[in-house]
Amino acid sequence: MWKGRFAKETAELVQQFGESISYDWRLYKHDIAGSIAHARAQVAAGLLTGDEFASIENGLREIEADIDAGKFEFKTSLEDIHMNIEAELTKRIGAPGAKLHTARSRNDQVATDTRLYCRAEIDTLIPAVSKLQLALLDRAEKYAATVLPAYTHLQRGQPVTVGHHLLAYVEMLERDKSRLQDCRKRLNVSPLGSGALAGSTINLDRPAVAAELGFDGVTNNSMDAVADRDYIAELLFGISLCGVHLSRLSEDLVLWTSAEFGFVSLSDSHTTGSSLMPQKKNPDVCEITRGKTGRLLGNLVAILTAIKGLPLTYNRDLQEDKEPLFDSIDTLGLTLAVNAEMIAAMEFREENCLEAASDPLLLATDLADWLVKQGVPFRHAHELVGKAVAESVSSGTPLDQLDLSKIDAAYTPDAQTVFNLQTALAARTNPGAPSVENVRSEILKWQGLIQA
């Protein structure tokens, strides 16, 4: 493609070092769609006849069908998906194929292809996130009233319900979807027509091309258009944060499935055994999810590092955007799918959850609230409950069995009414709090909002 300027062939090692066809072949549908739209604009500009356009479109559709069928031979010597398709098109249809690249560069071509690719993949990821949310909602509904401890610093804090705990992840995942949707809006502008960096003296109808490709508009600066990879970095950030949320969920499940907690049982279909220890049932899906999250974060760092020192406009470093992008999309898609399947099949051991939540120390804050309602300032109430807890620990007497009146006269016999889990949960009626009524209301809300 640049033989007019060079006297020697590109060295084989350079070809091997610089090729991207081994991975960017997956952009082929988007590259073909962009080429057809570009050719249609060439017709409108008088650069192609109707017959030439038909020949180009038919040729490109045939190439697409061959790639779909696995019959297309990709050539490393042609570097990338763009030149592989263009060279094959010209080989098949002759002169019209050689006209296709008029008024565009591989710089605006690849920017267009990757935007189309990201848009399509976002449209696949969002329903996958929704599917996981629905699996969580199904379990939240089944265990809406199942009480278990909530933790801070991995120490038992206060009682909540399984439903409330799982709804926390539904909230996180909804934010993940929102970030993906926002990213989609920002990336959905067409750079095609920006050329190598300064547009072209042959002016095609950029808005028409953008409309045909489903873009909301066109980029406003040709230099930014070919240099910009913000949309990839933003998408990889959204994917990474979603992975972080999945990793946190995985860590909860790793803990909950352990003998020390014993709150959850995962299906045999979503666990593995040991090659040596016959008794083992390992939460491998959760552990691999945690591990893959590091990979997602690494891909984000890779793209940020690649672009951080680049002068305007296009630099070949930008070729390094695709492997992290493709890998992160593939990784998150599979991780979402397997987690949705695993969550849908998991069961809670309600008796173990209730036993852990029945420790009266979990209601120490409720006891301080009771004192406040009797007129005791909170800081003093906190101190009085702290003394009661210290007495409970030192004497080995459960907090709800202490004679609290010996600690302070502010404690009346009515203080014992605090130590009832159902009453304690029912009192938490403020928006966002874990009363069973609130939890069930939230589940209904989410079920109405999330589409399968």
Question: Which among 22, 274, 395, 441 is annotated as catalytic?
Answer: 274
The set of residues, in sequence order, having a beta carbon less than 8 Å from that of 262 and lying 6+ positions away, is 256, 349, 352
Q: Which residues pair with 151 in a beta bridge?
A: 156
- The answer to whether 200 is a known catalytic residue is no
Q: Would you state the structure tokens that stand for residue 208, as one six-digit string? A: 């028409």
Measured at the alpha carbon of residue 87, what is the angle toward residues 85 and 89, in degrees to the nearest 5?
65
DSSP state of 146: -
For 111, 365, 388, the CA distances from 116, given in Å and listed in that order, are: 9, 53, 64
Cα Rg, the chain, nearest whole Å: 30
For 33, 45, 100, 186, 208, the CA distances from 204, given in Å and listed in that order, are: 16, 6, 13, 23, 9
For 159, 213, 243, 358, 434, the CA distances from 365, given in Å and listed in that order, are: 11, 58, 34, 14, 15
Q: What whole-number distance in Å separates Cα of residue 81 and Cα of residue 274?
A: 44
- The answer to whether 274 is a known catalytic residue is yes
Question: Which among 153, 269, 275, 394 is annotated as catalytic?
Answer: 153
* Cα dihedral 416, 420, 423, 427 in deg (nearest 10): 70
Helix (H, G, I), strand (E, B) or coil at 305: helix
Backbone phi and psi for residue 243, each to the nearest 5 degrees, phi listed first:
-60, -40
Sequential DSSP letters for 244-279? HHHHHHHHHHHHHHSTTT--EE--GGG-B--SS-TT
DSSP state of 437: H
- SS3 per-residue string spanning 93-121: HCHHHHHCCCCCCHHHHHHHHHHHHHHHH
At how many degrees (to 10) do helices 162-187 and 436-449 cross?
30
Q: What whole-number distance in Å separates Cα of residue 154 and Cα of residue 294?
A: 22
Task: Give the catalytic positions in this structure.
Answer: 153, 274
